Amino acid sequence: MSTGEKKEFPDGMVPLGNSTFKFACHSGVTCFTHCCRKLELFLYPYDIIRLKQKLGITSEEFLDKYAGVAQGANPYFPAVILRMLDNQEHTCPFLDKIGCRVYEDRPSACRTYPLERAVDRSASSGQRDEFYFMTDHPYCKGHGEERQWTVKEWLQDQHLLYYNMMDDLWAEMDTIFSKNPWGDEGAAGPRQRMAFMVCYNLDAFRVYAQEHQLFNAFKLSKSEVREMEKDDEALLRFGFKWLQYMLTGAPTLKPRK
Ligand code: SF4
Ligand code: SF4
């Protein structure tokens, strides 16, 4: 949704708005899977949930086997990236002979391509604006295909609406982390390590919550607790609220007396 405020964009970046673009990616393009190599592919918390569920492993196993920690744009919180294989072409670990083996659960960045998404919050109203830009990589032959899309059609086709909603919840957390809420503990202190676990290692957070009877500390219905015990997305949303409550004092949860 647009706030109607005029935005400035860096030179050469023009948001697509309601205009259409041509693109198609399929096994018949000569560049098929060329883009699945040598990537710095940032993973968001919801990406990890989808990937570890697809692979049938825990978040801990996923982090050990497939992820690395990197310094992203936020100086006060580490980013998680997908580790490319240590082969000649540095291929994505999920690339096989016929394409992406996690296609239905591929990360947000892979779904959004060839678009890039930017989200901006209005300073006056707090309302969120989103913008999409066309990337232009000469190796990508998908731009030469005839299939025509609006941004809205692309988002629906790539099942991005739910991913974007979960990524926006994560972006709110990242904004809090970017204000250095760790105080004297500094980076890699206990609270930052806890936040990392909530965001990226959800199975470990579930064990932590059970061992520390975390759900009992707040006014939650039995059905909410049951849902968080088995549903990763519900637990992640609770985890975000808990971090906001802990780090900023925001009334995102109601403590029991
Ligand atoms: S997850 Fe799939 S689509 Fe994304 S880079 Fe890896 S192989 Fe390619
Ligand atoms: S380079 Fe473009 S067209 Fe080729 S496989 Fe990747 S996204 Fe598809």
Residue 27 belongs to some domain of the structure:
yes
> Residue 89 and residue 121: Cα distance in Å, rounded?
39
Reported as a pLDDT band with limits 50, 70 and 90, residue 4 is low
Give yes or no: residues 130 and 194 share one domain.
no
Looking at ligand 1, which atom is closest to the CA of residue 39?
5
**Which tokens go with 27?**
């096994």
Give yes or no: residues 30 and 153 share one domain.
yes
Give yes or no: residues 77 and 52 share one domain.
yes
**Ligand 1 shell residues, CB under 6 Å:** 36, 39, 92, 94-95, 100, 102, 106-107, 110
Give yes or no: residues 165 and 187 share one domain.
no
Residue 68 belongs to some domain of the structure:
yes
Q: What is the pLDDT of residue 9?
A: 80
Q: What is the pLDDT of residue 114?
A: 96
**Pocket mutation for ligand 1, best pick of 32, 33, 36 (most atoms within 8 Å of C-beta):** 36
Residue 3 belongs to some domain of the structure:
no
Least confident of 4-18, 129-143, 150-164: 4-18
Q: What is the pLDDT of residue 167?
A: 96
Residue where the block lists tokens 């780090």:
247
Q: What integer is the mean pLDDT of 141-155? A: 96
Q: Is the pLDDT of residue 35 over 50?
A: yes
Mark which of 128, 148, 173 sits at the end of a domain.
173
| CA distances (Å), origin 22, targets 13, 34, 145, 161, 202 | 18, 19, 6, 20, 38
Q: What integer is the mean pLDDT of 173-193? A: 92
Q: What average pLDDT is seen over the chain?
A: 93
Q: What integer is the mean pLDDT of 116-134? A: 84
Q: Is the pLDDT of residue 64 over 70?
A: yes
Reported as a pLDDT band with limits 50, 70 and 90, residue 161 is very high
Residues 119-132 as b/e (b if ≥16 CB within 10 A, e otherwise) read: eeeeeeeeeebebb
Q: Is the pLDDT of residue 128 over 90?
A: no
Q: What is the pLDDT of residue 49?
A: 98
Residue nearest to ligand 2 atom 2, measured at CA: 140
Residue where the block lists tokens 């739910």:
162
**Pocket mutation for ligand 1, best pick of 110, 111, 112 (most atoms within 8 Å of C-beta):** 110
Give yes or no: residues 72 and 154 share one domain.
yes
Residue nearest to ligand 2 atom 3, measured at CA: 142
**Pocket mutation for ligand 2, best pick of 31, 106, 146 (most atoms within 8 Å of C-beta):** 31
Tell me the backbone φ, ψ of residue 67, rounded to 5 degrees.
Answer: -115, 160
Give yes or no: residues 140 and 65 share one domain.
yes
Q: Tell how far the Cα of 207 is from the centroid of ligand 1, in angstroms.
A: 30
Q: What is the pLDDT of residue 133?
A: 95
Structural domain boundaries enclosing 108:
20-173
200 and 80 in contact (C-beta within 8 Å)? yes
Give yes or no: residues 53 and 147 share one domain.
yes
Give yes or no: residues 80 and 110 share one domain.
yes
Render pLDDT for 197-255 as a digit per residue (tens, 0 to 9). 999 999 999 999 999 999 999 999 999 999 999 999 999 999 999 999 999 999 999 99
Q: What is the pLDDT of residue 1?
A: 45
Q: Give the strand order in the sheet containing 42-43.
A: 42-43, 79-82, 67-70
Provide the number of structural domains found in the chain.
2
Residue 120 belongs to some domain of the structure:
yes
Residue 209 belongs to some domain of the structure:
yes
79 and 42 in contact (C-beta within 8 Å)? yes
Give every CB contact of residue 54 below 8 A, 6+ residues apart in sequence.
Answer: 102, 104, 105
Q: What integer is the mean pLDDT of 9-31? A: 90
